Structure 1
């Protein structure tokens, strides 16, 4: 049986996207609940031949691309565009995906691989007024208490993954293979300060190359 050329294109695209995001294939594998070598084997050896639908959906949402770029079959492509991208012109509301990730605000937790958790609806006018592109947004949950009182355990945060110069503020980052939500401040030409708002925790300084910024936190919501 001859391979579909789109299978090879999907593998190449995944490798390109992981490089652009600064996230290793092993980290992406763990994010979807697979063993660390799973996506390496998919990209390098073509095994599995295609990504499973759930895995493809989670990866596409995290990477901010249409599932078609990761090999979605033709008959599924109309229904798998990332939230917001296919919104009708003039729509009042945009559904932003809740990704199956938890950003630790405590000692650190690796991203989990749970099933997608739906969407959170935002005013299209509010997103536009603040300059947010719907296809670059996602919602994740906060885990832990190190960012209290700013962010509490269970709060939901809106993360803007649009490329932008790094500036002080609260961001979702990867550090030592942990997905974290922390306050960042420049500490020198090649150094970044990673801060917990809860004084019971603390702060540290790290080389810029060790901190992968996933996106800036631009909104929070939670129970009173």
Structure 2
């Protein structure tokens, strides 16, 4: 079976819903041009609230639209009309704080408010424990195209040991949460790196082995609408 891209799943959901793009746009509270971009794949990410609104408008599963995992239809996913069970879904707490893909996003304090639901069997296959997970949002474009502004990410707060090539949520010296990739430097020490290729704007930040031990690692980014 061929793997469908997200925009292909969205196109399928809209087509089988029998609704026009204008109707979908109205029900989702967006402009028709936004729906066109979802369908043609010209945008790399969707806000979670738009994804859930699209799922409601089409009758398709939000989880399937995001990951192609599980049943397509919401009614199939809901066991013939029953609401999702906590046995099947884990509600992952959501940070109010944003993480910066830039020079740092100032968060006066971090609270947990609300959350997003993830299927437990999917988390299990990913090797993730619900109690160790938190939802956060990206701010800025220093990690573009890996992360886009406003994109949702999933943090494993138990993964706080530096790992080569992995992206982490870090607290900078001012207590600002930033999303950066850690790269082991062949000369020794580490590089705190942005994925954006513009190194004039987003240069690598070298740090010693001793220095990295003093960095407050919030957790490792393990999902961004797709596995990382």
Match of 2:185, SS state, is strand
- Tell me, which stretches of 5 or more residues in structure 1 are unaligned? 1-88
Report the counterpart of residue 196 of structure 1 in structure 2: 194
Question: Which has the greater radius of gyration?
Answer: 2
* Residue of structure 2 equivalent to 1:216: 220
Q: 1:126 aligns with which of 118, 122, 125?
A: 122
Q: Distance in 2 between matches of 1:163 and 1:106?
A: 22
* Structure 1 residues 185 and 114: alpha-carbon distance in aligned structure 2, compared to 1, 3 A threshold: closer
- State the 1:90 CA deviation: 7.8
Instruction: Give me the whole-angstrom Cα distance separating, in 1, the residues matched to 2:214 and 2:137.
Output: 23
1:110 counterpart SS class: coil
Instruction: Give CA deviations for 1:132-151 in whole Å, capped at 9, x if unaligned.
Output: 11111000010111000000
Identify the match of residue 183 of structure 1 among 181, 184, 198. 181
Deviation at 1:195, TM superposition (A): 0.5
Alignment correspondent of 1:99: 95
CA distance in 2, matches of 1:141, 1:121: 15
What RMSD over aligned residues (CA atoms) do the two structures have, in Å?
2.4
Residues 108 and 165 (structure 1 numbering): CA distance in 2 closer, same or farther, change over 3 Å? closer
Tell me the residue number matched to 2:151: 155
Match of residue 173 from structure 1: 170
Secondary structure in 2 aligned to 1:127?
helix
Task: Tell me the distance in 1 between the aligned counterparts of 2:160 and 2:108.
Answer: 27
Which residue matches 2:69? none
The count of residues paired between Structure 1 and Structure 2 equals 134
Length-normalised TM-score, structure 1 = 0.54
C-alpha distance 90-179 of structure 1, shift in aligned 2 (>3 A): closer
Q: After TM superposition, list the pairs within 5 Å mapping 1:31-42 onto structure 2.
A: none
**1:121 Cα deviation from its structure 2 partner:** 0.7
Q: Which runs of 5+ in 2 are unaligned?
A: 1-84
1:174–1:164 Cα change, 3 Å: closer
Query: Deviation digits for residues 86-118 of structure 1, max 9, x if unmatched?
Result: xxx981110001111111101112224476441
TM-score normalised to structure 2 length:
0.53
CA deviation after TM superposition for structure 1 residue 173, in Å: 0.7
The answer as to 2:203 corresponding to 1:205 is no
Q: Alignment partner of 1:118: what SS? A: strand
Residue deviations 1:29-87 (CA, integer Å, cap 9, x gap) = xxxxxxxxxxxxxxxxxxxxxxxxxxxxxxxxxxxxxxxxxxxxxxxxxxxxxxxxxxx
